[in-house]
Amino acid sequence: MIVLLNGSFGVGKTTVAKILHDSLTGSIIYNPEWAGSFLMRLPKWIELKKTGTGDFQHIELWRKSVIAGTRLYRSFARSAVIVPMTFSNRDYFDEVVIGIKSFDSELRVFCLKASLDTIKKRLVQRGTRIEDAKSEWVRRRIVECADAHRDSYFGEPVDTECCSAHDVAQEIVFRLQKPHSETYSI
């Protein structure tokens, strides 16, 4: 089984992924952000389409690496592969979800949600200077995500507003034990 945790930057995906990993015996975490960070740091002489946007999700090679990496991790996992990611673009989301479903029909997608104010507070608590001039990209993306994630298209909604990360992880474990009814169709 693949468990994709979608949600805005600062909503708690990585923290919840770590708690889920501890709760689901034999599970592993695959964080595609590592590959994205690597691709963004490649020298300028290696041409990758859309590398100048500041968002590695625009890089087709990154989206393909998400699918290939998830497949690779799935081959080693004794249980779930937990994949924390931030998608607000439907086309990119569809591409990755369809790619993962091609080798694992048990894919579950959860979208962690919180208000914009809560997300800003969480980012500040973890040391992100969201009012800094260098943080314009983060400010723009959290607004984009807050708008996009109002739609259940991006995964089964999980409200994190007034919950601890442990409560959120527990809710996801509970839902994983129930039959899945897709709230979005791809």
Q: What's the mean pLDDT when you consider all of the chain? A: 84
Task: Provide the CA 104 distance to its chain's centre, in angstroms.
Answer: 17
The predicted pLDDT at position 179 comes to: 73
Domains of the chain: 2-176 (3.40.50.300)
Q: What secondary structure letter does DSSP report for 48?
A: -
Q: What is the pLDDT of residues 120-154, one digit of tens each?
A: 888 888 777 777 766 777 788 888 888 888 888 99
Query: Which among 4, 24, 18 has a CA at the least distance from the CA of 174?
Result: 24
pTM tops 0.75, yes or no: yes
Q: What is the pLDDT of residues 151-186, one digit of tens each?
A: 889 999 999 999 999 999 999 999 998 876 654 444
> Would you say residue 112 has pLDDT above 60?
yes
C-alpha dist (Å) from residue 82 to 74, 79, 114, 155: 10, 10, 20, 14
Query: Which among 134, 139, 135, 53 has a CA at the least distance from the CA of 92?
Result: 53
- Strand-strand pairing, 108-113 and 2-7: parallel
The type of residue at 167 is: D
